[in-house]
Structure 1
Amino acid sequence: MKKSLAGLVVLLAMGMTARSQVKIGFEVSFKEPQAHYAEVEMNISGLNKEYVDVKMPVWAPGSYLVREFAKQVEGFNASAAGKSLKFEKVRKNIWRVHLAKAAAVKINYRVYAFEISVRTPFIDDTHAFLSSTGIFMYPEGMLHLPSTVKIVPFKGWDKVSTGLEPVSGKKFTYRAADFDILFDSPIEVGNQDVFEFKAAGVKHEVAMYGGGNYDAARLKTDMAKIVEKATAVYGENPNKHYTFIVHNYEKSGGGLEHLNSTVLGASRNQYNTEKGYLGFLSLVAHEYHHLWNVKRLRPVALGPFDYDNENYTTNLWVAEGFTAYYENKFMLRAGFISPEVFVQTLAKAVSDVENTPGAKIQSAAASSYDAWIKYYRPNENSNNTGVSYYSKGEVVGLLMDLEIAKATGGTKSLDDVMKAMYLQCKTLKRGYTDAEFKTMVEKISGISFTDFWAKYVNGTQETAYGQYFGYAGIKVRNENEGKSTAYLGIASVKKEGRIFISAVSRHSAAWVDGLNVNDELIGVDGIPAELGVEKSASILGKKPGDIIQVDVIRDGFKKTIPVTLKANPNINLLAVADENASPEQLKVRAAWMGK
């Protein structure tokens, strides 16, 4: 037995030694950036096998859709010692290279990159944005191995911005401890404007591409405030350095989180208006909170990642929804919005969810699980069949926060749950299950959340907004209550001077009486459609129960469809602080809003 164990140890040690000798390096250059191409060279040495499979990820963590990055790869070839090696494609994203006893192989391929988004590579003659999952391949079974990346900028480009660690003494060369880190580290190459600030003891670099009317000094001050408020919730900032890559276009938006960086989309001329500037800071607050929530405090399914397939979780309502909720809290705590704006913003969030017909069909947990097939693939009926885990999760976060503060007399809040779950994930070195998250909420609050989970996480219960806002002494009024406004229930879009129905709301008058998406609207009761439909005089002068005649063209045929109008079912919440709130309510409010 002892000899067998000793032999096993020797074999394992030999295997580990052989594996540790494998070295992986990349070089990325740009021969034709104007045509949107990156040239990638991948070198693998220390191999001792018949063949190696190299794989391109099919999705980017943080964006839950299979995007098939391999479709943009061309010109794949492999060689050893200057001689070509045989290779074959064995799966949609796998190339098998036959080594012919070679211990080292050089692989070259090109990537076409011409989709502007925070999650996909984009290259032109002004810069290169390398979203790593769409650029780099990895050898099968070697995700855990380190690699280096050398960037060769195009002529005239002189800057590289990334969260990757630089290799000492080698310009524009970086290292990743494993492929999870490489795939979580976007790279910006070009002539971006770079400025820095320090907050929470961490150096932050901001790389601005595309110009804009921003004030760098103001941004450094205000972004630092958000960093400090976010860090205060968790008690520590887990990074040594952090990189913001900001793409300023004429019109842009959105963001994608990474382990120690983020990519933000912005409109270059939004910074000199209050709405535009606060919108950008809200995006910063959202993506920076992901540094904890989802990157470290994460659902168990989200890491280590399977880059070949979907990674399912029912907890995106926490990962994204709570992050949407906290961006409001950070904006309040940093002093960028008033308590009144904070409260009304969340009241509107509740209204938006309650006014979504699909919120009565799909739960927060189901929305999370189906992100792969629904959220990123919306159609004309999506509003009727589902709800965003961002918006529903934001509302669940609001309710949970108020419930915890109420149960603890204002001594605890959702902040305490988030910090405790972050520390738990850090200690266990893995993500959490839904049951573990619920257990922590109950531990912090001291009450059962079984009924809450059944109603708001796994169920489709209407939000008891009056009750929950009331915990904090906030009075909520539905501005539409008591009104009987005629409602048709369609959305429309104008194309080349013609108006088409783009959506029909579930159970509305249009739904019941048969108006269809893609119907061309000609008129309502003889009034031309270009004068408006929902707001046209013919409807404003009608009451629920009245019948209107809607003229449409469907598949080339003109039809007149009688529609019996219904009452507008939507709510419009107005929330204000009660000046006569009790001491108990004020304690809940203080715990909810924080410092």
Structure 2
Amino acid sequence: MPEPHTHYFEVEMRLSGFNKKTVDLKMPTWAPGSYLIREFAKNVEGFEALNGGTKVPATKINKNTWRVSTKGKDLTVRYKVYAYEVSVRTSFLDASHGYINGTSVFLYPDGQVNLPSTVTIVPFNGWTKVSTGLPSVAGKEFTYQAADYDILADSPFEIGNHEIFTFTTNGVPHEVAMYGDANYDAKRLMADMQKVTEEAVKVFGELPVKRYVFIVQNLQNGGGGLEHLNSTTLQATRSTYGTERGYEGFLNLVAHEYFHLWNVKRLRPIALGPFNYDQENYTNMLWVSEGFTSYYADLIVKRSGYTTVKEFLDDMAAGITSAENSPGNKAMSAAESSFNAWIKQYRPDENSYNTFLSYYSKGAILGMLLDLEIRKSTNGAKGLDDAMDGLYDEYYKKKGRGYTDNEFQEGMEKAAGHSLNSFFQKYAYGVETPDYNAYFATVGVQLVDVNKDSNDPLLGAGISMTSGKPVVTSVTRNGSAWQGGLNVQDEIIGMNGYRVTEDINKIIPSYAVGDVVELVVSRGGQLMILPIKLLKNQTVKYQAQMLPNATEAQKKQLQAWLDSKK
């Protein structure tokens, strides 16, 4: 990275022992953990191959493959990678630091991902630190070993002058590489991250790594993370640590990505490993891989003592409210949402709200309901922790492979002690609405819809002020705006004979259900009048409350559910 301000990594790849006349070198099209074809080869430039210092033919034969002549001798390949996308899923380089996510930088010989490699990082002049989950080569600075390409691709690098602090969990050293200025207290953060990781370990009873690395990038605008085999990359806004809610949110992100150390990186759907880096790797089970992880992140933060019972239940109720108000919740099941991740999750449009509910949110709800079902069925003797630990032991530790859809269901049923086929068919593979209170009664909790008796109208359209003009950004299926013919990108000029200069959703509550509002809109420069009959607001707004007559047994179940696992 001799000129980091130009955003180019310069890569040299040396291959030895290849005896065929040619070798095909490939670059992945996607990054495991982020289910979208990203076409990383688009950022490769200046590809050349040398044999003993002499250039040899190198031809690109498809979008991500170069065929190189070896002449039966050792080979050196050189290329540059443009890296200037701020994301945990891609690579980035500028004058302040470098970040390498392996799938977007490293090539591999076709069909030989099992080959080991040694990687040497040459930091820019003045940069003194490299953080990665790969083990170091003794006696060689910034040199690391990867047992195979999967591990190389799954071990990001943070390069620069970042702050490093460490803590130990279950005897395993954890490194935190903090890039960027931010308002965090390192001593407090170190202690709290340690507590979160300790709570996560209790679910499975073991920590299956010898070392773990958190790469944290503090940015002007940032958020999200990506899991790896023994590390993770997290992005946060610089100010996120300054409020208790923001700080709690960061700990939730830590818990989420750390829980992936088990759920996905080891306990996984059978389709997610070994990877096909050329194309989509389809599975119905991302609602478990990501949704359960989201549920456990909330649970781990609660068990660690950073949220109260009320805060946990409020967040739970808000998640259910959001899901039940989304038309996409009735249009696509959790399994379908998972399978369609490649074309839906990372490619939202103005109609996504009507057609798609993220497997993160839907899966988190289903994970919680399964937890409560298992607790109810076993009278509190078991919960989702036991089911997940049982699957981890069976498929990761004993069989060394991922689970099928049916095997996952069987693992849940084993913990519950009875068939869960109805649950899976209705809620995971179907779109029926669960009887939430039938599940929450187990822990003495009830959901109350505070909108139940309201008779307010709702337009059913999202509106944003664009250059001072109210423009429609979304239209809710079967709502007032939908039925009245309002379109996304319509500019609202007037309503009922008056000029409009604000979001009319602020005005709609002054009308009654059944009233007709006459909108003047500009659609592609053409003025038109749309009479829209206002329909009743059908959205729910759930609050979680303790049952006034909750029994001691229900209170005990609530405590066992939300308290630290002993």
Range of TM-score over shorter length? over 0.9
- Aligned residue among 552, 557, 566 for 1:588: 557
SS in 2 for 1:170: coil
CA offsets 1:422-445 (integer angstroms, 9 cap, x no match): 111221000011101111111111
Whether contact under 8 Å (1:55, 1:94) holds in the other structure is: yes
CA offsets 1:394-435 (integer angstroms, 9 cap, x no match): 110111111110111011100101111111122100001110
| Matches of 2:499 and 2:204, distance apart in 1 | 58
Letter in 2 for 1:216: A
Whether contact under 8 Å (1:473, 1:585) holds in the other structure is: yes
Farther off after superposition, 526-535 or 332-341: 526-535
What's the TM-score once normalised by structure 1's chain length?
A: 0.93
- Aligned residue among 386, 404, 424 for 2:374: 404
1:261-340 alignment, distance < 5 Å? 261-340=231-310
Q: What's the offset of the Cα at 1:164?
A: 0.6
2:147 maps to what in 1? 177
| Matches of 2:440 and 2:493, distance apart in 1 | 45
1:6 maps to what in 2? none
2:344 maps to what in 1? 374
1:95-494 alignment, distance < 5 Å? 95-101=66-72, 103-425=73-395, 426-494=397-465
| Matches of 1:558 and 1:310, distance apart in 2 | 44
Q: What's the offset of the Cα at 1:494?
A: 2.2
Whether contact under 8 Å (1:52, 1:99) holds in the other structure is: yes
After superposition, the Cα gap between the structure-2 partners of 1:88 and 1:337, relative to the gap in structure 1 and judged at 3 Å, is same
Letter in 1 for 2:388: M
Q: What's the offset of the Cα at 1:226?
A: 0.5
1:11 maps to what in 2? none
Q: What's the offset of the Cα at 1:474?
A: 0.4
Whether contact under 8 Å (1:250, 1:267) holds in the other structure is: yes
Whether contact under 8 Å (1:226, 1:331) holds in the other structure is: yes
| Matches of 2:407 and 2:563, distance apart in 1 | 25
State the identity %.
50
Letter in 1 for 2:103: T
SS in 2 for 1:503: strand
Whether contact under 8 Å (2:469, 2:502) holds in the other structure is: no
Q: What's the offset of the Cα at 1:464?
A: 1.4
| Matches of 1:434 and 1:528, distance apart in 2 | 56
CA offsets 1:538-567 (integer angstroms, 9 cap, x no match): x22211111001111001111110000011
Whether contact under 8 Å (1:409, 1:584) holds in the other structure is: no
Whether contact under 8 Å (1:198, 1:224) holds in the other structure is: yes
Unaligned ranges ≥5, structure 1: 1-29
- Aligned residue among 502, 508, 517 for 1:548: 517
Whether contact under 8 Å (2:215, 2:231) holds in the other structure is: yes
SS in 2 for 1:327: helix
| Matches of 1:122 and 1:355, distance apart in 2 | 38
1:83 maps to what in 2? 54
| Matches of 1:528 and 1:273, distance apart in 2 | 40
After superposition, the Cα gap between the structure-2 partners of 1:566 and 1:113, relative to the gap in structure 1 and judged at 3 Å, is same
| Matches of 1:428 and 1:63, distance apart in 2 | 26
SS in 2 for 1:550: strand
1:531 aligns with 2:502: yes
1:64 aligns with 2:55: no
SS in 2 for 1:373: helix
SS in 1 for 2:545: strand
| Matches of 1:430 and 1:177, distance apart in 2 | 18
| Matches of 1:100 and 1:242, distance apart in 2 | 42
Letter in 2 for 1:445: A
| Matches of 1:343 and 1:501, distance apart in 2 | 34
Whether contact under 8 Å (2:204, 2:389) holds in the other structure is: yes
1:549-564 alignment, distance < 5 Å? 549-564=518-533
CA offsets 1:156-186 (integer angstroms, 9 cap, x no match): 1110000011000000000100011001000
Count residues with an aligned counterpart.
563
Whether contact under 8 Å (1:402, 1:588) holds in the other structure is: no
Letter in 2 for 1:118: V
| Matches of 1:48 and 1:445, distance apart in 2 | 56
2:540 maps to what in 1? 571
| Matches of 1:330 and 1:496, distance apart in 2 | 43
Q: What's the offset of the Cα at 1:594?
A: 3.7
2:490 maps to what in 1? 519
Runs of 4+ in 1 over 4 A off after TM superposition: none
CA offsets 1:307-360 (integer angstroms, 9 cap, x no match): 001000000000000000011110111000001111111111111110110110
Letter in 1 for 2:34: S
Whether contact under 8 Å (2:129, 2:162) holds in the other structure is: yes
Whether contact under 8 Å (2:166, 2:190) holds in the other structure is: yes
* Root mean square deviation, CA, Å: 1.0
SS in 2 for 1:214: coil
1:51 maps to what in 2? 22
Farther off after superposition, 226-235 or 92-101: 92-101
Letter in 1 for 2:96: T
Farther off after superposition, 464-473 or 428-437: 464-473
Unaligned ranges ≥5, structure 2: none
| Matches of 2:230 and 2:68, distance apart in 1 | 34
